[in-house]
Every structure is written in structure tokens, then in C-alpha cells.
Amino acid sequence: MAAISDLSFMYRWFKNCNLVRNLSDKYVFITGCDSGFGNLLARQLVDRGMRVLAACFTKEGAQKLQQDTSYQLQTILLDVTKTESIKAATQWASDSYQGPCSGLWALVNNAGVGLPSGPNEWLTKEDFVKVINVNLVGLIEVTLHMLPMVKKARGRVVNMSSCGGRVAVIGGGYCISKFGVEAFSDSIRRELHYFGVKVSIIEPGNFRTAILGKDGLEKHMRKLWERLPPETRESYGEEYFRIYTDNLKSTMQLADPRISKVTNSMEHAIVSRSPRIRYNPGLDAKLLYLPLAKFPTPVTDFILSRYLPRPADSV
């Protein structure tokens, strides 16, 4: 017991000693702070004494976060799909520095959407573009605008990906965008290495957030189904629609509500002197999705195809 206690003390000591110094002087810019991961991370970093620049999509989200925190946090409205909004947020962040701060210590690209998602044939080009513009193109443009400030601080870029960026578990723009986040993060990590900038990728499993919107999955799937041409609906069949929707709802109901597992990983990537390249919070990430991503492709296809119902017009 004494040996275990000593090891525990040494671990806590090493963990605390391995932190970046002068956290109270460092600024962190976070996108997508209305709710979920971004909102909780902003609160955690304020509790650590850091200066947080929280970007929200809605005025209500910004006001609520500002009221619930302290002067160490400032908010701004940001639409990551609009260049002018990104330019304004970048200038605002640059003007926010005070005291001994030099540059932006960390950029956290957290903003994201999950819908529209579903069988690819049920979706339109606009459905794909809506998700990809937020999750990937917006993330890239925010990063490109903020990079000079991050390089000045020799700081961090933390990008929110997903296990869906390692294995495509659902149709639509979500997994496509997350695969893109992985590629972009890998390339800039190598490019920024000589500038002293570290890049981390967060790849969570299923966690319960508002990323799937407020209207409910069943309503979303019904909308996709009803707009399909009659011949497409016939080829899949009503039974396919019902089972697919039920499976998706069951997966979301099993999602882990303890989102602090994700924000703790994000926090570590910001405050540790030795941040990891990839973080995989969630048991399902470690035990299901990552193994699926590493299996031979036919094996992964076989396992994931068992999750899909059989269409009415199947061979």
C-alpha cells in the first residue's frame, strides 16, 4: 500500500511539474462555445486562471457564457463559414492581448455540426456542403487566419476530429469532414514543427452533445426519407428506414454524457509541456472504433455492414 501511495504521489507531482508555466498570462481562442465541449472547456480554462477568448455562434450562447464566468473570459460572435466573420474575430483576438502576453497560446477548433447525415443516396450535394463547410473548410480558414499569432507564441493548435475521422461509420459530410481534419492536422503539424508550434487532434467516441441539433434524429431521418423519389424509397423499403433510424437512435442514446472526458483531453493538449498528437477519449473509441480503423478493410466492412439493415431491393 505504501508503494502504491508513493507512486500516486510521484504521478501527481510529475503531472503538475509538466505543466506550461505562467498559465495566467496565456490566451486561448476557442470556437463553438455555445454549448458542449467548447463551453465546458472555456469554463475549465478560466478555472485554471487562463485568458479565454470564446467564440459563439449565437448571441444567447455568448451572453450566457459571459454571465456564468469571470472577466478572464471574453466572448465574440463567429460564423466559421463566413470569411468576414473570421477576419473580424482574428482582429478582435489580436486586440485582446494585455500584459506580458506575446501572441495566442492556443487555438482550439471545436465548432462542428453533425447533420445532415444518413445513407449517402438520401442526401444532396447541399447536405454534404453544409457539414463540410463548418467542420473542415471553416476550421482550415480559422487556422490560417490565426496561425501568425500562434506562431508568435510558439503555442498550440488543437483540432476537434472524431473516431469518424478514422473509420467512416455513417454517410454524409460528417466523416468526410473529419477525415479531412485528420489530413489537415497532420500536414500542418509537420510544417509548424520548426516554429515550435504543437498540433493535437482530439478523436472522441460517442458523447452526448448538441451536435445533432435540437429537432431529434427521428424527425431528421423522416425528412430525408419523405423527400426521396418514389423509386428510391421502393428500392430501400419502409423497413430499412425504420431499422436504420432505430439503430441510429440507439447509438445516440448510448452516448456517454460525461463530456469532461473530452474536455480534459483538450485541456491537457493546451496546458501540458508534452501534449499528445492524438487523444481518444471514450471507451468506445479505444475498444471499438480504433480497432475497426486498423483491421483489414474487408473485416471492417463485414462488421459495419452487419449494422446496416438489408434493403428491399437487395441481391
Q: Which residues contact 129 (CB under 8 A, 6 or more apart)?
A: 173
Q: What b/e readout covers 200-237, taking b as 16+ CB neighbours within 10 angstroms?
A: bbbbbbbbebebbeeeebeebbeebbeebeeeebeebb
| H helix runs in the chain, sequence order | 2-17, 36-47, 59-68, 83-95, 125-132, 139-153, 173-192, 217-226, 230-236, 238-253, 260-271, 283-284, 290-294, 297-305
Is there a catalytic annotation at residue 174?
A: yes
How far apart are alpha carbons 64 and 61 in whole angstroms?
Answer: 5
Q: Are 246 and 167 in contact (CB under 8 A)?
A: no
The set of cell numbers assigned to 151 is: 506562431
Q: Are 146 and 104 in contact (CB under 8 A)?
A: yes
How far apart are alpha carbons 86 and 92 in whole angstroms?
Answer: 10
How far apart are alpha carbons 96 and 288 in whole angstroms?
Answer: 43
Q: Which residues contact 79 (CB under 8 A, 6 or more apart)?
A: 57, 85
How far apart are alpha carbons 290 and 52 in whole angstroms?
Answer: 32
User: Which of 97, 174, 240, 244 does the annotation list as catalytic?
Assistant: 174
- Residue 103 DSSP class: S
Catalytic positions are: 174
